[in-house]
Amino acid sequence: MVFQNAFKRKTGSGMTSLIFVTGGVVSSLGKGLSAASLAAILETRGLKVTLAKLDPYINVDPGTMSPFQHGEVYVTEDGAETDLDLGHYERFIGTRMSQVNNFTTGRIYNNVIARERRGDYLGGTVQVIPHITDEIKRNIVKAAEGYDVALIEIGGTVGDIESLPFLEAIRQMGVEYGKQAMFMHLTLVPYLKAAKEIKTKPTQHSVKELRSIGIAADVILARCERDISEDERAKIALFTNVPKEAVITALDARESIYEIPILLHEQGLDDIVIKRLGLEAGEADLSRWEEVVDRLSNTRHEVTVALVGKYVEHSDAYKSLTEAITHGGLRQRIAVNILRVESEQIEQEGIGSLDGVDAILVPGGFGERGFEGKVAAIRYARENNVPYLGICFGMQAAVVEFARNVCGLEDANSTEINPDTSAPVIGLITEWLDASGNVETRSEDSDLGGTMRLGGQRCRLRPGSLAGNLYGKDIITERHRHRYEFNNHYRDTLQRNGMLLSGHSMDETLVEIVEIPAHPWFLGCQFHPEFTSTPRDGHPLFSGFIEAALKSKQGELPAEVASL
């Protein structure tokens, strides 16, 4: 009853209902998208909804994991480095995610061991049950507090040894909360082309594995590339002990992932959930999602944007970014073709792969691999009047390119790339020292020890600048994830040569946005605007960038614009 009482909402209006989302057969079936899509429907029905992701890996968070291993690291407003599924959550619902919405096996064990070292367990033997499972439940309670419904996604696949403590914890919570908790299991229903048959056996075994640890699914989401017939749904229902109407076909979306809420609603998933949990809710209004799908399906224009990065072979490495680029075309119904260009390829083969693109974007990243290829791509964009957007590392590379090729600082570089450069236009704040050895430029918003600057921070824009016109306001808040900064010693040099520093931290000590006014559309930002882009609203930088790409393609951008 301790955990049950903890779920009492502060308003006294009742307990938070829990929907646990598990996956079976194989990974990467789309648990995060399915959970986010259901949450989106429930939100349109007037419910206050949140989501959380429980990851079974031992890392405390994904911040140090390679994008090749785990995809992008998503950053929340409060500075948490989290799983990329939290990006899906924020793109689908209005609730903002935070540190409490993502936790890992590593964090759970770290917390329990810290308590043990403090003596909190009074000399008792610390065990997986109850100490680890209780810590998991405490974290779920914290994430769900104050909401009508919380969807809790369990990472990995049922049967993985790493997931067992999480599954045991949610099994216990299912017992403790009874009708206030339900289980939704996403599983693969493969189609065998040789036999021309859909096979339900993997789903049967996956649900059997789930039941062996005491969890009975209330809903089956059957992921399949073909429609599942009524007979096949009945067979799945029979062998998994769920009603046939609770066997939901999770087909690949016809047009885009933003169609998933509509597809799930058409099959009545939200009605099943509302009835099962005994919730009071209004009718679903998916008109905004229908508009998004319509704008994606019925485009009037088409542009090609070159994404020049170092993880382009991994589809999830730039997940929020590619979604934000797509969102950028929605306002004007522009279909965006993303040409993924490996920056090392440019180093080896030259910039020929960029010929004919309508715009160039260089995203964030770390380390020297492929850096010179990014610099070459930026020079191509600058010299050929191709619209350019640089994000984080892409802004820093733009500063390096401008310093080298416009300001004449041939050795200009970031100290991350070359610690011995004679012109460190980008560096750690601790590297900007005056003669007495004191840090010359400081900001309370920045980590002076050279550690990561993370999360939402305010930025003051210069009125009349490209950024100021796009945002339509003087002060913005955007999310950061970086260590290196624009070196203030080079402000005057770059400004004299035509670079506009159009965005600064609130105390004016850190450069956040750079522009080249003599270029038709050239902007680099130190933050990550992709983390706050949604399909419903887009983001001003991406909308402006894609519309500039269209104007460039149509020959409507001026060859140059007047300097501010």
Q: With 90 as the cut, is the pLDDT of residue 548 above it? A: yes
pLDDT at 63: 73
> What is the pLDDT averaged over residues 488-504?
97
> What is the pLDDT averaged over residues 91-111?
95
Q: Provide the residue type at 48 as one letter.
A: K
Percent of the chain, pLDDT > 90? 75
Q: Which of 77, 81, 392, 515 is catalytic?
A: 392
| Residue 425 located in a structural domain | yes
Q: In whole numbers, what is the pLDDT of the chain averaged over residues?
A: 89
| Residue 159 located in a structural domain | yes
Residue finishing a domain among 266, 291, 316:
291
Residue finishing a domain among 249, 275, 291:
291
392 is catalytic: yes
Same domain for 109 and 253: yes
Q: What DSSP character marks residue 254?
A: S
pLDDT at 57: 87
| Residue 338 located in a structural domain | yes
Q: Which of 43, 153, 401, 530 is catalytic?
A: 530
530 is catalytic: yes
How many independent structural domains does the chain possess? 2
pTM for this predicted structure: 0.90
| Residue 5 located in a structural domain | no
> What is the pLDDT averaged over residues 473-487?
95
Q: With 70 as the cut, is the pLDDT of residue 125 above it? A: yes
pLDDT at 564: 28
Same domain for 143 and 286: yes
The tokens describing 331, both together, are 């306002």
Same domain for 312 and 209: no
Q: Which of 131, 519, 528, 539 is catalytic?
A: 528
pLDDT at 27: 78
Return the number of other C-beta atoms located less than 10 Å from residue 233's C-beta.
21
Same domain for 313 and 266: no
> What is the pLDDT averaged over residues 210-222?
95
| Residue 561 located in a structural domain | no
> What is the pLDDT averaged over residues 235-255?
89
What SS3 string covers 140-193?
HHHHHCCCCEEEEEECCCCCCHHHHHHHHHHHHHHHHHHHHEEEEEEEECCEEC
Q: Residue 205: pLDDT band by 50, 70, 90 thresholds?
A: very high
Question: Could you give the C-alpha distances from 316 to 75, 88, 219, 231, 548, in angstroms and in order?
Answer: 15, 12, 28, 36, 26
Question: Could you give the C-alpha distances from 387 to 361, 413, 517, in angstroms and in order?
Answer: 8, 23, 12
> What is the pLDDT averaged over residues 261-287?
96
> What is the pLDDT averaged over residues 126-147?
95
CATH number of the domain where residue 247 is located? 3.40.50.300
Interatomic CA distance for residues 135 and 109, integer angstroms: 9
| Residue 203 located in a structural domain | yes
Q: Residue 5 contacts by C-beta under 8 Å, 6 or more apart in sequence?
A: none
Render pLDDT for 307-358 as a digit per residue (tens, 0 to 9): 999 887 777 889 999 999 999 999 999 999 999 999 999 999 999 899 999 9
Q: With 70 as the cut, is the pLDDT of residue 8 above it? A: no
Q: With 90 as the cut, is the pLDDT of residue 106 above it? A: yes
pLDDT at 14: 64
Can you give the residue range of the structural domain that contains 139?
13-291
CATH number of the domain where residue 458 is located? 3.40.50.880
Q: Residue 446: pLDDT band by 50, 70, 90 thresholds?
A: very low
Same domain for 113 and 70: yes
pLDDT at 465: 97
Same domain for 404 and 368: yes
| Residue 121 located in a structural domain | yes
Q: What DSSP character marks residue 500?
A: E
Q: Residue 475: pLDDT band by 50, 70, 90 thresholds?
A: very high
Same domain for 286 and 312: no
Q: With 90 as the cut, is the pLDDT of residue 72 above it? A: no
Alpha helix ranges (H) inside 84-130: 85-92, 105-118
Q: Residue 11: pLDDT band by 50, 70, 90 thresholds?
A: very low
pLDDT at 432: 60
pLDDT at 451: 65
> What is the pLDDT averaged over residues 240-264?
90
pLDDT at 66: 65
Same domain for 524 and 500: yes
Q: Residue 359: pLDDT band by 50, 70, 90 thresholds?
A: very high
Render pLDDT for 174-200 as a digit per residue (tens, 0 to 9): 999 999 999 999 999 988 888 788 888
Q: With 50 as the cut, is the pLDDT of residue 448 above it? A: no
pLDDT at 226: 84
Same domain for 306 and 188: no
Q: With 50 as the cut, is the pLDDT of residue 444 above it? A: no
Same domain for 277 and 304: no
pLDDT at 67: 64
Q: With 90 as the cut, is the pLDDT of residue 556 above it? A: no
Residue finishing a domain among 291, 310, 339:
291
pLDDT at 177: 94
The tokens describing 119, both together, are 């003596």
Q: What DSSP character marks residue 253?
A: P
pLDDT at 358: 97
Same domain for 365 and 244: no
Same domain for 322 and 237: no
pLDDT at 197: 86
121-125, 384-388, 488-492: segment of lowest average pLDDT: 121-125
Interatomic CA distance for residues 534 and 223, integer angstroms: 25
| Residue 351 located in a structural domain | yes
504 is catalytic: no
